[in-house]
A and B are shown apart, each in its own frame.
Chain A
Amino acid sequence: MDYVPVIRRAQEGDDRAARQLFDDFQLRTYRLALGLLGDTADAEEVAQDALTYALLNIHRYNPELSSFSTWLHTITVSRARDKRRRKILPSISLAQWLGLGNQIRDHAPGPEAHYMHREMESRLFLALDQLSPKLREAVVLRFYADCTYKEMGEIMGCSLNTARSRLRLAIEKLRANLGDETVRWLVTETIR
């Protein structure tokens, strides 16, 4: 969908357009925040803050400089960093949450595969949890939000080359954290 007319209306003060943007972007903002933070309560708070800030400052958004998604991702990443800094005690992590298996759709054909699937995803997110926040941002932005390196640089506030380096380093660490067996399983599962 082309959001440019909706954004323009919101910038002119049309609150229904703002409502439409809020509705259309709330899930993807929440999911991005969840990927960045790995904690559902924190992700809700960050997504709410990011959307509220973005819409109340929509007049600052310049469509000639970046896409609305990129702008919103930038705010979300910034809010997630703030949240991480302020956080004292972790609540349920995404890895734990995946391990508990609540609210996740069942993609696997049988109970055993289902269990393995969850197990491997849990390991993936445990490995993600072990990355530094900036490396995790690089992984989530590249592999979940499908950002280009240029967009990653804009969102993370670094150069294009730094964004590349972070992703490369993140992959190396992920590979090391996951271990050969998990990597093989993940690869096989993806191919299958």
Chain B
Amino acid sequence: MAGHGNHSLEPAHPDDATLEAYALELIPPDQADTIKQHLEGCPVCAARLRRLSDLHASIAAGLHRALDPARPKRPLDFARVASEWRKPPRRVSAAARLARLMSGILSVIAVALFALTLTVLALQDHQPALSTLRLAESYNGPPAVVAAAVEEGVAIVALDAQGPRVVRLVPNLNPVDALQIAPDGRWVAFEQSQTLHLIETRAGGTAVKLELGERSGWSWAPEGHILAYTDGRGQLALFNPTDQAHTLLVPAAEQAWGQPVWSPAGEQIAYATAALPGDNPAAPSGIWRVDLATGYRIELARSPAVGTTLLAPIAWLDGGSDLLARSVSEPYAPPTLYRIDVARRMAVTLDASTPVQGRQLVWPVNARGQMLAVRQGQVVIYDLPREEARAIPNRLRQPAAAAWSPAGTWLALVVPGQPEGGGLYLYAPEQGRLRQIQLPKGAAEKSVTWAGPEHLFVTRQPDSSAQAELWLVSIAGDQVPRRLLSGIALSQTGLPHNAIAARVVLPSAS
């Protein structure tokens, strides 16, 4: 007989312990082969092995019979996971946390360097030496913040009852692009090459930089305190400039790019996805939405022409039930427009187009889902939810700029080709009312934004000048149009919308 439990393999029959070990796969392979050969020629040992193995099988069967039907009296509670889930450190992978940490460290270093620069230039911040910018002596419009490119950099100007005054100068930052003011008026954002600068509008406030890639984009939340951005490397994230915290929404592997679009209530963000250079060219371009409360992402539409047509979201419609999107396949051609039913995740091609300048629509969409669009060669007011088009008066053909009033009832338009001072119009599509607002001669109207419900900020460019002016216009006609700023330096593109941004701010934010 074999030795007890030492698995020695004498020609005689293995003992129970050895067979048990064999059955439990505890015998080294070479010895197991020897036992196997023995078992093939020894029915007695084979039967013993079966008896031993059957006990193992019966234990397994007994366990399964007892445990497989067992259920907890009440289903286990996911709420304990859910209540902790939103705490970022617990739910983010090590790689993402490392990336966030590195990003944070880099941001801190960037802020420290920027703060050092600002400290050195502190005197200039408080007593800006501006060679070209001229301010009006008084101001009688709603409190507002203006950011303007000047020869020395970017000037931040407060407009209130004290009159226009420069509160900050951020030097040496020309040329700038995509100048914007956050909805709460607290931050100015602009791009310089691939750096996004965020400058607090109060004197001595902080300044932050984000380094973004080529296919990046960004937009402020509706209430203005945070920014959503794609970083050009595929990530979509939120950034709070106040505490400089980044929150990853979409990882790089999902290839988010371009400008994210906030829903009106700020609870969702629509974003585009596409293959990045070097990736699989057949990867489809799509439009997704991310729910900020849950982090859940869902695809809303996919490119009709894989590999050739990119889709990009433009605006949420009808309170968030629909999304307007465009194609970006040909930079110089008018884009195809799509209306996406968010609930049904269906995209419908619209029989209309609209011009795009950079990442922005030249003719924006109002809160009711109305926009100017070109349809069958005609400029129309296109009601997107109803899919109805209405002709506009002949004089308004191909406006160079358009802005909807806060309630969406009036459309302020800058119409090119008019005599100096004659390019500004107000149009109420519902009533079909059209009004021209006459401005003084000496400059051509270039762009327009609303300054509350009763005023307009109009950018004008004196003839043959490389500078621009900002004017305040009362639509009630009870105040004479006034020049607020002059000597604004146009950027290298020569486009006034890159050189100046103005936004009315709530008294609490100002």
- Interface pair A56/B85, CB less than 8 Å apart: yes
* Distance from B250 Cβ to chain A, minimum over Cβ atoms (Å): 8
Determine whether A55 belongs to the interface, using a CB cutoff of 8 Å to chain B.
Answer: yes
* B24 near A31: Cβ-Cβ < 8 Å: no
Say yes or no: A59 contacts B71, CB within 8 Å.
no
Task: Give A95's nearest chain B residue, CB to CB.
Answer: B66
Inter-chain residue pair count (beta carbon < 8 A): 156
Contact of B80 among A23, A48, A186 (CB under 8 A): A48
Residue on A with the closest CB to B293? Answer: A15
Asked if B54 contacts A168 (CB within 8 A), the reply is no
- B285 nearest CB across to chain A (Å): 21
Scan A36-63; emit 1 where CB is below 8 A from any B CB, else 0: 0000100110011001100111111000
Decide: B75 and A26 in contact? CB cutoff 8 A. Answer: yes
On whether the beta carbons of B70 and A22 are closer than 8 Å, the reply is no
Residues on A with beta carbons closer than 8 Å to the beta carbon of B433: none
- Select which of A43, A94, A191 is within 8 A of B66 by beta carbon: A94
Check A58–B76 contact: CB distance below 8 A.
no
Answer whether residue A3 sits at the interface, using C-beta atoms and an 8 A cutoff: no
CA distance A25 to B51 in the complex (A): 34
- Are B59 and A124 touching (Cβ within 8 A)? yes
Chain A: interface residue total (CB-CB under 8 A): 60
Which residue on B lies nearest to A187, using beta carbons?
A: B54
**B residues within 8 A CB of A183?**
55
Tell me the bound Cα distance from A153 to B402 in angstroms.
70
- 1/0 per position for A75-95, CB-CB distance to B under 8 A? 000000000000000000010
B interface: dominant SS: helix
A15, A143, A175: which contacts B82 (Cβ < 8 A)? A15
A15-B296 in contact (CB<8A)? yes
List residues of chain B with CB within 8 A of the CB of A55.
81, 85
Interface string of B39-64 (1 = CB under 8 A from A): 00000000000010011111111111
- Residues of B within 8 Å of A174, CB to CB, are 59
B57 touches A56 (CB 8 A): no
The answer to whether B90 has its CB under 8 Å from any CB of chain A is: yes
Contacts of B68 in A (CB 8 A): 31
Docked Cα-Cα span, A120 to B55, in Å, equals 13
Complex interface residues of chain A between 83 and 123 (CB less than 8 A to chain B): 94, 98, 103-105, 107, 120-121
Q: How many residues of B contact A (CB 8 A)?
A: 51
Q: Say yes or no: is B84 at the interface (Cβ < 8 Å to chain A).
A: yes
Return the contact of B295 from the options A14, A32, A52, A167 (Cβ within 8 A).
A14
Q: A15-B85, A15-B294, A56-B91 are in contact. Are A98 and B59 (CB under 8 A)?
A: no
Q: Which residues of A contact B59 (CB under 8 A)?
A: 124, 139, 143, 171, 174, 186
B297 within 8 A of A: yes
Q: Which residues of B contact A105 (CB under 8 A)?
A: 65, 69
Write the chain B residue with the least CB distance to A123: B62
Give chain B nearest CB distance to A21 CB in angstroms. Answer: 9
> Is B120 interfacial (CB 8 A cutoff)?
no
Indicate with 1 or 0, residue by residue over B72-88, a CB within 8 angstroms of chain A CB atoms: 11111110111011101
B86 nearest CB neighbor, chain A only: A15
Which chain B residues border A103 with CB–CB below 8 Å?
A: 69-71
Chain B residues positioned under 8 Å from A167 (CB to CB): 24, 26
Q: Which residues of A sit under 8 angstroms from B24, Cβ to Cβ?
A: 164, 167-168, 171
- Bound CA–CA A22/B84 (angstroms): 14
Kindly identify which residue among A12, A34, A139, A189 contacts B251, using a CB–CB cutoff of 8 Å: A12
Given contacts A31-B67, A40-B72, A94-B66, contact A11 B93 (CB under 8 A): yes
Question: Is A164 a contact of B26 with CB atoms below 8 Å?
Answer: yes
Check: B265 CB closer than 8 A to any chain A CB: no
Write the chain B residue with the least CB distance to A191: B54
B437 within 8 A of partner (CB): no
Residues of B276-331 whose CB lies within 8 A of A: 294-297
Chain B residue numbers with a CB within 8 Å of A107 are: 65
Contacting residues, chain A, for B407 (C-beta < 8 A): none
Contact bitstring A178-189, B, C-beta under 8 A = 1, else 0? 000001001101
Is A59 a contact of B63 with CB atoms below 8 Å? no
The docked-state distance in angstroms from the alpha carbon of A154 to that of B326 is 53
Q: Could you tell me the distance between the alpha carbons of A47 and B84 in the complex, rounded to whole angstroms? A: 17
**B248 interface residue (CB < 8 Å to A):** yes
**Do A175 and B63 have beta carbons less than 8 Å apart?**
no
Cβ of B92 < 8 Å from any Cβ of A? yes
Known: A60-B94, A168-B24. A27 touches B248 (CB 8 A): no
Decide: A22 near B55, CB < 8 A? Known: A15-B295, A31-B70.
no
Assembly CA distance A190 to B51 (angstroms) = 11
Would B81 and A18 count as touching, CB distance under 8 A?
Answer: yes
> Chain A CB within 10 Å — which of B20, B54, B67 has the most?
B67
Given contacts A23-B78, A30-B76, 18 further A-B contacts (CB under 8 A): A12-B93, A12-B96, A14-B296, A22-B78, A26-B75, A44-B74, A44-B76, A48-B80, A59-B91, A94-B66, A103-B70, A104-B66, A105-B69, A124-B66, A140-B63, A175-B55, A186-B62, A187-B51
5 contacts between A and B (CB under 8 A): A48-B80, A103-B71, A105-B65, A124-B59, A125-B62
- Chain B residues with a Cβ under 8 A of chain A: 20-21, 24-26, 51, 54-78, 80-82, 84-86, 88, 90-94, 96-97, 248, 251, 294-297
What residues make up the interface of A, taking CB atoms closer than 8 Å to B?
10-16, 18-19, 22-23, 26-27, 29-32, 34-35, 40, 43-44, 47-48, 51-52, 55-60, 94, 98, 103-105, 107, 120-121, 124-125, 139-140, 143-144, 149, 164, 167-168, 171-172, 174-175, 183, 186-187, 189-191
